[in-house]
Every structure is written in structure tokens, then in C-alpha cells.
């Protein structure tokens, strides 16, 4: 089968197009013919080696990239009773979706409703799950809560805005361009501002009568984190869930005290998808919202295995608005 692998870490040039044997499902696993795969910044981070030592997302080289996919079950391993050949399924946080077939632990899979396309299923789970746990479990958004969403036109950013508005929170957003700010407003942001080299913090303080927001969702890291502190109210929460601009490696906890006794957390999706029941509960809510039209996910671009390099480059160059997908066996 066709696959995209990495043998070493680096830029887009380390992506290798390789013919490999289709995997076989072991006990508890399902074999899926991948129709579509989601393309995520996580794949870029992994390609660059950021997860080389991760115990949460273990990478073994050579690694078939891609940790989100949707398709049809081909066969199941011993002990799998929830799925059968022909079922339409989707999953995330298992390596190997940049390929024609993937084996996935059955407990990580969810059934895709008949009315939902496999493309949308592949585009929605990784970012949808993330926005879901960030909004509900970490940020505990509710009516009257104020939050700031960075990279608001990005894959997670757009969903986070919509989930936050659904529960009645006030949402401030940051983006790098006017076009991206428009997207954030369309998704429901009450105010969208540019980063302006950190001056977004003043804009947010002005908008909150000097108080600062209750929660900041920061996926950018090095370029924004300290200014995120300045945009947060006393004893507020900063959720550092990504680091697309690089990691902050020199943080002294005293800075959190100086910034107003802030709480800082670095959560991970894997810890918020501990079992099949949680995975299915979150997927049910995301799929239902997509089907009733209250959640919108825009496909930012469709790529094939042959031009996956271009998708990575577009992500890294900040050209992507929304969610890119790989079309493999439509």
C-alpha cells in the first residue's frame, strides 16, 4: 500500500513516499481502508522531532505519519465485537493515517453517522475532541465567563469559538490578518484583534475594563505566552495547549505570581480521551452539532498522498484557514 513515512526528523523533505505491506489487525484492533485523513499541526511537530521523546505519543522510526482518519472497516482482530467489516468509522491519536490502510485499537474508533461524510468525520475528530475538552473540562466555560482564543481562524481555534459561544461565554480572538479576523467573527467571536507583537494584551484589557479574561487558550507558545499572562485576570487560567511558534523553555513560576497568581496548565488530548466511553461521548456531541448545523468546520484544502509536502508547507507558512484533509481512497 502507499504510505508517507519519516525515517528521520526534519523539514518537509524528510517525508518519504513508500510502498509498504498493509498491516494486519491484532487482538482488539480494526483494519481500516482510509478514505480521508486529517492533516494536523501535530504531524508537522512530529515530523520535526518534537515528540521524539514523548511518552504520551510514542514515535518509533520509521513512522507512518498522520494521527486522524476515517474510512471503512476491512477486518477486525480477535475479541472485537463493536465493529464489523463495512462499518464507517473514524478515529484519532493513533499513528498511520497517511496511508491506504491503518490498524487502530477498536476502543479509539467511533462509528460515523450515515448522514455525515467520511471527509467531514476525518476533518472533525482531532480538533473537535481537543476544542471539546478545552472548552468544557479545562476552561469550564459557562455563561458570563470571558475567554481569549489565539490563532482563532485555525483548525482548533474555529471550533473553540463555536463551542464557547454555545455555552454562553464571551470570546475574544487573535489572528494575524484581517481575513483571518473575519473568519473568527463569522464563527462567533465577540471581538477579533491582531497580535501586534503582544499588544493584544492591552486590547483585551481595554475590552474587559482593565480586568483581563478568565481563560486564555494559547496554542502559539513562545511568541505569545507571556503576553497571554498580561491578558488574564488575577487568579485566571492560562491554557498552553500548543506551541506552533516554539516552546517556552525559561519560565520561572514566580512570573505567574507576578502576573496575578495565575494558573498555568499544559493539557494533552490523550489524557482527556482515556477510554471508549469518553471518546464516544465527545464524538456523539461533535457529530450531532455538525449534523444540526450548529458547528461548522471548513475544509481548508484537499491534498493527496502525492502532495502532502505542500500541505505541511502551507500549515507552517500560516496560509491555511481551517482544516486540511488528505483524500486517499474516497
Ligand X SMILES: NC(=O)c1ccc[n+]([C@@H]2O[C@H](COP(=O)([O-])OP(=O)(O)OC[C@H]3O[C@@H](n4cnc5c(N)ncnc54)[C@H](OP(=O)(O)O)[C@@H]3O)[C@@H](O)[C@H]2O)c1
Task: Between 170 and 175, name the residue whose CB sits nearer to ligand X.
Answer: 175
Nearest to 204 by CA among 233, 244, 181, 235: 233
Does residue 129 contact residue 282 with C-beta atoms inside 8 Å? yes
Which one, 101 or 126, has the nearer CB to ligand X? 126
Asked whether position 303 contacts ligand X by CB under 6 A, the answer is no
Three-class SS state of 325: strand
Among residues 23, 96, 154, 236, the one that binds ligand X under rule CB under 6 A: 154
Nearest to 273 by CA among 92, 97, 55, 32: 92
Rounded distance between C-alpha atoms, residue 287 and residue 282, angstroms = 9
* 153 near ligand X, judged by CB under 6 A: yes
- Nearest partner of 119 among 299, 284, 288, 300, judged by Cα: 299
Residue 266 has phi, psi (to 5 degrees) of: -125, 85
Shortest approach of ligand X to residue 155 CB, angstroms? 4
Cell of 20: 509498504
Q: Which residue has the cell 504510505?
A: 3
Determine the residue with CB nearest ligand X. Answer: 154
Cell output for 30: 480494526
Total binding residues for ligand X by CB under 6 A?
A: 29
Check binding of 243 to ligand X (CB under 6 A): yes
Site string for ligand X, 21-40 (x = CB under 6 A): -------------------x
Asked whether position 42 contacts ligand X by CB under 6 A, the answer is yes
Q: Given the DSSP bridges, would you call strands 29-38 and 68-76 parallel, antiparallel or unpaired?
A: antiparallel
Distance in angstroms (rounded) separating the CA atoms of residues 290 and 81:
27
> CA–CA distance from 101 to each of 21, 120, 329 (Å)?
9, 18, 9
Q: With contact defined as beta carbons under 8 Å apart, do 215 and 239 qualify?
A: yes
Does position 176 bind ligand X by CB under 6 A?
yes
Which range in 18-26, 114-122, 256-264, 267-275 contacts ligand X by CB under 6 A?
A: 267-275
Rule CB under 6 A: which of 101-130 touch ligand X? Answer: 127, 130
Residues in the chain: 330
Q: Does 96 bind ligand X (CB under 6 A)?
A: no
Q: Is 66 in the site for ligand X (CB under 6 A)?
A: no
Where does this chain touch ligand X (CB under 6 A) — which range of 2-10, 75-83, 154-162, 273-281?
A: 154-162
CB of 209 to ligand X, least distance (A): 26
Q: Work out how close the CB of 41 gets to ligand X at its nearest, in angstroms, rounded to a whole number.
A: 3
Shortest distance (Å) from residue 5 CB to ligand X? 20
Contacts to ligand X by CB under 6 A: 40-42, 45, 127, 130, 151, 153-157, 175-176, 180, 219-220, 223, 241-245, 267-269, 316, 318, 320
Amino acid at each position: 500500500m502507499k504510505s508517507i513515512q519519516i525515517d528521520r526528523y526534519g523539514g518537509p523533505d524528510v517525508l518519504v513516499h513508500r510502498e509498504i505491506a498493509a498491516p494486519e489487525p491484532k487482538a482488539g484492533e480494526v483494519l481500516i481502508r482510509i478514505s480521508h485523513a486529517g492533516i494536523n499541526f501535530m504531524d508537522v511537530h512530529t515530523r520535526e522531532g518534537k515528540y521524539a521523546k514523548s511518552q504520551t505519543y510514542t514515535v518509533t522510526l520509521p513512522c507512518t505519519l498522520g494521527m486522524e482518519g476515517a474510512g471503512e472497516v476491512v477486518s477486525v482482530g480477535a475479541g472485537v465485537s463493536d465493529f464489523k467489516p463495512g462499518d464507517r468509522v473514524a478515529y484519532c491519536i493513533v499513528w498511520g493515517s497517511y496511508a491506504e490502510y491503518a490498524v487502530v485499537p477498536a476502543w479509539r474508533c467511533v462509528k460515523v453517522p450515515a448522514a455525515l461524510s467520511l471527509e467531514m468525520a476525518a476533518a472533525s475528530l482531532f480538533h473537535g475532541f481537543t476544542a471539546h475538552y478545552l472548552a468544557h473540562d479545562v476552561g469550564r466555560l459557562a455563561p458570563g465567563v470571558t475567554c481569549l482564543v489565539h490563532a482563532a481562524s485555525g483548525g482548533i481555534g474555529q471550533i473553540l469559538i463555536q463551542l464557547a459561544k454555545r455555552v454562553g461565554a464571551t470570546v475574544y480572538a487573535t489572528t494575524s490578518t484581517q481575513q483571518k479576523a473575519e473568519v473568527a467573527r463569522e464563527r462567533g467571536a465577540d471581538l477579533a484583534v491582531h497580535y501586534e507583537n503582544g499588544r493584544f494584551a492591552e486590547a483585551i484589557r481595554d475590552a474587559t475594563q482593565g480586568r483581563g479574561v478568565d481563560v486564555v487558550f494559547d496554542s502559539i507558545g513562545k511568541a505569545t505566552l507571556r503576553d497571554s499572562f498580561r491578558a488574564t485576570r488575577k487568579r485566571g487560567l492560562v491554557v498552553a495547549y500548543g506551541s506552533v511558534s516554539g516552546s517556552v523553555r525559561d519560565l520561572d513560576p514566580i512570573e505567574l505570581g507576578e502576573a496575578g497568581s495565575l494558573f498555568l496548565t499544559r493539557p494533552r488530548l490523550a489524557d482527556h480521551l482515556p477510554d471508549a466511553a469518553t471518546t464516544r461521548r465527545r464524538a456523539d456531541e461533535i457529530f450531532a452539532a455538525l449534523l444540526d448545523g450548529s458547528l461548522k468546520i471548513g475544509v481548508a484544502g484537499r491534498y493527496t498522498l502525492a502532495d502532502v509536502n505542500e500541505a505541511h508547507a502551507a500549515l507552517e507558512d500560516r496560509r491555511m484557514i481551517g482544516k486540511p484533509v488528505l483524500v486517499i481512497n474516497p
